[in-house]
Chains A and B, each alone.
Chain A
């Protein structure tokens, strides 16, 4: 590589030899800018620089505002202003002049003006609106350079709302005779697509034209858009695969003009772009992948390993090969390629090699074994980046056997971790591994201790949450639970006896909760010891008041006996007058409950962690109180927006900006504070001292604040609170540590194949790569979605593993057993004869094995499964009984799926039956049916052949949905010319604009060969939206409780007279919302996502648009809903 710049720069003498510089780069040493720059480099202190720049800015300010300044001078001033700004000094007074310069200057001055604008202003800057007109004018200019400049600035910064104003002009430029203009227009549209995809939806066919442009530059530019669109929706562009392959073939074959070569490699940027597009297209799609194989082979062959840029292409090829449907000879080549990367002395290549390995390792665990020595070396590499990437790789191959070593390495790295971001990431990974694979209690607790102390208060809040949940829910064995808890208690007590000042707050909170809950298990430590330790914590000045609340809570649970009560009294007296209301509340509780042990037993029953809490969110128990207060003459409660409304009406002129009116006033009294140990407790902070009765009478009748009214309720609230740290977590099967433990004890030593002299490394290798291949195949079968598997861990398999190992019988009857068999073999033979085993390995992920369903089932928490089943049978008792396999009825009629719709679902609202895929003689189609509060997905498999199809299996999974099988989906045979019907109940797990179910169909052909086919079914979120029938008052109360808010301006659809009513009704009808009320210029709507997740919407007509706020307890829901609203209104 030629480092031209490097050579020249080193040849240069000192920094300030400014004179006699030849070439086009005339150093403007005599110009004002030159003087300024020189002046600054001569200065020695920051203070002097500041003074100089201030002087400079003063002079610029004076000159730009002078009417006598010519545009030419203005240009020069602007460059100086840019310089000052780039040094970090604000020069906002010139912004407006920059726009003026762009508007009025001649082409060159304009260029500086546009540059200044793009450097000074942000996309959201209000001055940018003034630029729109200039851009419009320049887009229509006959001077091509002006058009170019306008297009350039448009693709750099342009206000989103103003895109429609210039869109037609930019579109027009797609047909411009000059390629440079076409290219820039395409890039501008790409930019629009990124910031406002809906605006450019109608020009998709023009993108196709750009793709076919005769100029390679324009075509390359259009690929940006295609990459983006294909990434979002690969299905929609499969037809273009052939074209992309052809283009790549031509590029690789050197058919492009020599201009596009980069260091004699043909158009590398274009090649990489195409490879990336192709990998999206070929993913999980055999037929498309088949089109790609040849050109990939060609690319690999052509790329000589000698330049950085060819390595870049190779790396992309490798990624593509491992993304699309696997093909053995390509995989072999790719593996060789990765080997070259990993073994390369060039550190950049080594890094990429590791990255590629990390990517590949889930599919091909043997790769890790091949390169184990290199990996070990990288683990001790002086460059932290390499080390970090190696840990990432190890994280992917962790299993119950090597977890101890890998976690040790990760913690070692964490000890001197450079930055917070890495710490948070790694700490999360360690916690995940510890929860998944912990070999025994001691190790688990100790590892988590390190996690908490290292992660500190920056780590993800769900780590302590899930840890506590794990402790409280326990596992299968009561004895084991006791041991784990006991060990935790012992470990914490000894921690607290040492130096506590350095412990992070969240760790202290975990400690106090555990001690409060479980220290009764320990015989070594009596309560007064623990109480004293807690008291010591309270006295530390580092302890935050939130932590103090946790500690007081723990003390409340512990104070017993005279000594305890004595301590409790002392402590509560200290804090009962605290300024922090929550703390004060805790102190009150401590005081009262320590005196009344009966009440305490009732409020804080021991070992109640497992009982689900009933929370009366509507606060109906207060009804009596409210009606009493109303009868006594209290004013009825009004939701805040209504109060605001009345306030506005009372005044003739509302001078308050609207933005403040609703959402801000609400958020100020928003109750949810996630970090508080008791989500509800914050409300006490609002209601002030609840013992002050006179004060209470003066309060408005807000139900939420009433929580703290009476002693009787206090008790109820307490029990809610105790469960609080555990709430809000997804219910999962708690893993059994016992089983894990057994699994690890039965590990066998691994002989290492490579006769390496370094014993230490060898040992490390054998401990790191133990059982790697088997573990990864586990991963593959269950699709390694970490979120899904999380904390469910190998538990499902673990008991089986132990049994198998002890009895050493390995019947190869199903996939699970297969797996075990692998496990046994692999642990003994570390190096595996590559070809044959690789074959099995790459095939295995594609064959949805017998444990596929078991996985989906396991993924569903027991309780949820039960609930959905129950609700189904409640709604329609028939469904459960009817296996819905109606293959016999009407088998001789045509195979039209709709006639096979289960009888009880006929007549309900359903979507069109859409074809999913075909596989040989089988045709899959599906539709979704709204059945009351359930969403039923129906899949029809019709067999149009003359022979029977055997062993049909249908496995569905989805990241966004909970899929529960309603019909019996065990192995089925479908006779010729019949249709089988499968029913699934769907519930939204994680809302998205559209939600998707991925499925795998496997069956046996008449010839006996197994076949699989992947498909996916997409349905809009709106299918799960139902109206939520509530009153305005209820709406007001609910609004307060929801924390996730989205604000957006929507277009107002005008029908002539009542735009608001018309628009809201339109939304109501299309999206199934409930229109609660329309008051003047405002309207409120409510809906719920099935399974009762509400979303509230507040709209207001504002400046001809519809300002909309959405709130929901579910984070993603408001966003998705707003998207659908937007779509509905735009269609109109």
Chain B
């Protein structure tokens, strides 16, 4: 099971945080501080895995953005790395050539995508098409609230 996912910039600015288990605010702040310190201090080309307390931290850098995922110890580290990658792919598909700014200004969208992909710390849907279809379908609501057709699109 995953415990949390953090996205932060090279400068250590937090861009996204998702906690899959209940954690107190104080503890969250401490974790965020620890994570940015630990991950940003890593040399390039070193291992993408870190130990932190009883958890494994899997991180990966995409351009200026660090994705940092905490998993329980018995989980598969390589798979976690692929979870991060799949999330980036999903973001990319949705935003079209995603960049850090997309995530800064549309962070709620990034959350929606994450919620369709991972739920309660487990991968919910691994098919890229299905995740995107459900996000897009929900987005259609913006234009036309009463329409029924998006449901056909989504669930058809």
Chain A residues at the B interface, C-beta cutoff of 8 Å = 1, 3-6, 8-10, 12, 15, 18, 21-25, 27-29, 33-34, 37, 79, 82-83, 86-88, 106-108, 111-112, 115, 118-119, 122-124, 143-145, 148, 152, 155-157, 178, 180, 183-184, 187, 190-191, 194, 217, 220-221, 224, 259-260, 262, 267-270, 272, 308-309, 311-312, 315-316, 347-348, 350-352, 382-383, 385-386, 388, 421-422
Query: Could you mark each residue 71-99 of chain B with 1 if its beta carbon is under 8 Å from any beta carbon of chain A, else 0?
Result: 00000111101100110110110111111
List 15 contacting pairs A-B, 8 Å CB cutoff, sorted by A.
Answer: A5-B89, A9-B100, A12-B99, A15-B101, A122-B24, A124-B22, A143-B151, A180-B130, A184-B119, A312-B82, A347-B47, A348-B47, A350-B47, A351-B77, A385-B51
Q: A119 contacts which of B52, B79, B111, B141 (Cβ < 8 Å)?
A: B111
A268 → chain B, closest Cβ, in Å? 7
Chain A residue with minimal CB distance to B96? A23
Contacts of B108 in A (CB 8 A): 79, 82, 112, 115
Residues of B near A3 (CB, < 8 A) are 62
Query: B20: nearest residue on chain A (CB-CB)?
Result: A156
Known interface pairs A88-B29, A388-B51; A148-B134 also in contact (CB < 8 Å): yes
A118 to B111, CA, bound (A): 10
Please tell me which one of the listed residues A6, A155, A348 contacts residue B48 in the complex, with CB atoms under 8 A apart: A348
Partner of B95, one of A24, A112, A123: A24
Q: Which residues of B contact A87 (CB under 8 A)?
A: 14
Whether A25 lies near B106 (C-beta < 8 A) is yes
Q: Say yes or no: A23 contacts B151, CB within 8 Å.
A: no
- Which residues in A have their C-beta under 8 angstroms from that of B81? 308, 312, 348
Q: Nearest Cβ distance between residue B93 and chain A, in whole angstroms?
A: 9
Task: Tell me if B98 and A155 are in contact (CB < 8 A).
Answer: no
- B64: chain A residues at CB < 8 Å are 9
CB neighbours of A106 from chain B (8 A): 141, 145
- Chain B hits for A383, CB < 8 A: 43, 46-47
Chain B residues in 8 Å Cβ range of A143: 151
Task: Give the CA-CA distance A106 to B146 in the complex, in Å.
Answer: 10
> Do residues B82 and A262 form an inter-chain contact, with CB atoms below 8 A?
yes
A224: chain B residues within 8 A (beta carbon): 122
Residues of chain B touching chain A, judged by Cβ–Cβ distance below 8 Å, are: 14, 16-17, 22-24, 29, 43, 45-54, 62-65, 76-79, 81-82, 85-86, 88-89, 91-92, 94-102, 104-109, 111-112, 115, 119-120, 122-127, 129-130, 134, 137-138, 141-142, 145, 150-151, 154-155
Q: Is B88 within 8 A of A5, CB to CB? A: yes
Distance, CA A118 to CA B81, complexed state (A): 25
B46 CB, min distance to chain A CBs, angstroms: 5
Closest to B145 in A: A106
Q: Is the CB of A178 within 8 A of B155?
A: yes
Q: Which of B88, B106, B127 has the most CB atoms of chain A within a 10 A radius of its CB?
A: B127
A386 to B104, Cβ gap below 8 A?
A: no
- Contacts A9-B65, A144-B154 given; 19 further ones with Cβ under 8 A? A4-B89, A6-B62, A29-B105, A82-B107, A83-B107, A87-B14, A106-B145, A122-B24, A144-B155, A145-B141, A152-B115, A180-B134, A187-B122, A260-B126, A272-B79, A348-B47, A351-B49, A352-B78, A421-B52
Q: Are A259 and B85 in contact (CB under 8 A)?
A: no
Determine whether the beta carbon of B82 is less than 8 Å from that of A308: yes
Chain B residues positioned under 8 Å from A144 (CB to CB): 151, 154-155
A25 touches B96 (CB 8 A): yes
The one of A24, A115, A348 in contact with B78, judged by C-beta atoms closer than 8 angstroms, is A348
Chain B residue contacts of A308, Cβ below 8 A: 78, 81-82
CA distance A36 to B120 in the complex (A): 31
The listed residue with most A CB atoms (<10 A of its CB), out of B62, B79, B92, is B79
- Tell me which residues across on chain A come within 8 A of B125, comparing CB atoms: 183, 217
Contact of A262 among B49, B65, B86, B99 (CB under 8 A): B86
Q: Would you call B97 and A8 a contact (CB within 8 A)?
A: yes
Inside 8 A of A122's CB, which chain B residues have their CB?
22-24
> Assuming A148-B134, A308-B82, is B63 touching A86 (CB within 8 A)?
no
Residues in A neighbouring B126, C-beta threshold 8 A = 220, 260, 262, 267-270
Q: Which of B47, B86, B151 contacts A386 (CB 8 A)?
A: B47
Report B36 CB to chain A, min CB distance, Å. 13
Q: List the A side residues contacting B29 at CB < 8 Å.
A: 88
Closest 3 CB pairs of A and B: A9-B63, A312-B78, A23-B96
Are B145 and A25 in contact, CB atoms less than 8 angstroms apart? no
| Chain B residue nearest in CB terms to A112 | B108
Q: Which residues of A lie under 8 Å from residue B104 when comparing CB positions?
A: 37
Q: Are the CB atoms of A25 and B134 closer together than 8 Å?
A: no
User: Which chain A residues border B109 with CB–CB below 8 Å?
Assistant: 25
Task: Among B46, B101, B123, point to the contact of A347 (Cβ < 8 A).
Answer: B46
Residues of B within 8 A of A145 (CB): 137-138, 141, 150-151, 154
A108 B91 Cβ-Cβ under 8 A: no
User: How far is B56's CA from A388's CA once the two chains are assembled, in angstroms?
Assistant: 13
Nearest to B134 among chain A residues (CB) is: A180
Cβ distance B114 to chain A, nearest Cβ, rounded Å: 10
Residues of B contacting A23 with CB < 8 Å?
A: 95-97
Q: Establish whether residues A347 and B45, one from each chain, have CB atoms under 8 Å apart when the complex forms.
A: yes
**B129 x A259 contact (CB < 8 A):** yes
What's the minimum C-beta distance from B143 to chain A, rounded to whole angstroms?
10
Residues of B within 8 A of A187 (CB): 119-120, 122, 124
Contacts of B79 in A (CB 8 A): 268-269, 272, 309, 312
Q: Which residues of A contact B138 (CB under 8 A)?
A: 107-108, 111, 145
Measured in the bound complex, the distance between the Cα atoms of B123 and A272 in whole Å is: 12
Q: Give the distance in Å from the alpha carbon of A917 to the alpha carbon of B1 in the complex.
A: 34
Residues of A within 8 Å of B51, CB to CB, are 385, 388, 421-422
- Asked if A108 contacts B142 (CB within 8 A), the reply is yes
Distance in angstroms between the alpha carbons of A194 and B119 in the assembled complex: 13
Query: Do A155 and B96 have beta carbons less than 8 Å apart?
Result: no
- Residues in A whose Cβ lies below 8 Å from that of B98: 4-5, 8-9, 25
Complex contact A309–B105 (CB within 8 A): no
A688 to B1, CA, bound (A): 51
A141 to chain B, nearest CB (A): 12
- A180→B151 CA distance, assembly (Å): 12
Nearest-neighbour CB distance to chain A for B103, whole angstroms, equals 9
Q: Are B65 and A352 in contact (CB under 8 A)?
A: no
Minimum C-beta distance from A646 to chain B (A): 38
**Which of B50, B101, B145 has the most A CB atoms < 10 Å from its CB?**
B101
Evaluate contact between A190 and B120: CB separation under 8 angstroms: yes
A699–chain B nearest beta-carbon distance, Å: 40
Interface pair B101/A21, CB less than 8 Å apart: yes
User: B17 contacts A156, CB within 8 Å?
Assistant: no
- Contact partners of A385 in chain B: CB under 8 A: 46-47, 49-51
Residue in A closest to B104 when the chains form the complex, CB atoms: A37
Pick the most buried of A6, A18, A267: most chain B CB atoms within 10 A of its CB.
A6
From A5, A260, A385, residue with most partner B Cβ within 10 Å: A5
Residues of A within 8 A of B97 (CB): 4, 8, 23
Pair B120/A183 contact, Cβ less than 8 Å: no
The residue in A82, A83, A112, A224 that gathers the most chain B C-beta atoms within 10 A of its C-beta is A224
B130, chain A: closest CB distance, angstroms? 7
Q: What residues of chain B lie closer than 8 Å to A21, measured between beta carbons?
A: 101-102
**CB–CB B17/A180 < 8 A:** no
Asked, given contacts A34-B105, A106-B145, whether A9 binds B50 with beta carbons under 8 Å apart, the answer is no
Distance of A106 Cα from B145 Cα, bound (Å): 8
B49–A348 CB distance below 8 A: yes
Q: Which residues of A contact B127 (CB under 8 A)?
A: 217, 259-260
Give complex CA distance A788, B94 in Å: 54
Of B50, B65, B76, B120, the residue contacting A191 (CB under 8 A) is B120
The residues of B that contact A388 with a CB separation of less than 8 Å are 51
Query: What residues of chain B lie closer than 8 Å to A422, measured between beta carbons?
Result: 51
Most buried by B among A24, A83, A124: A24
Cβ B17 vs Cβ A86 within 8 A = yes
B96, A108: Cβ atoms closer than 8 Å: no
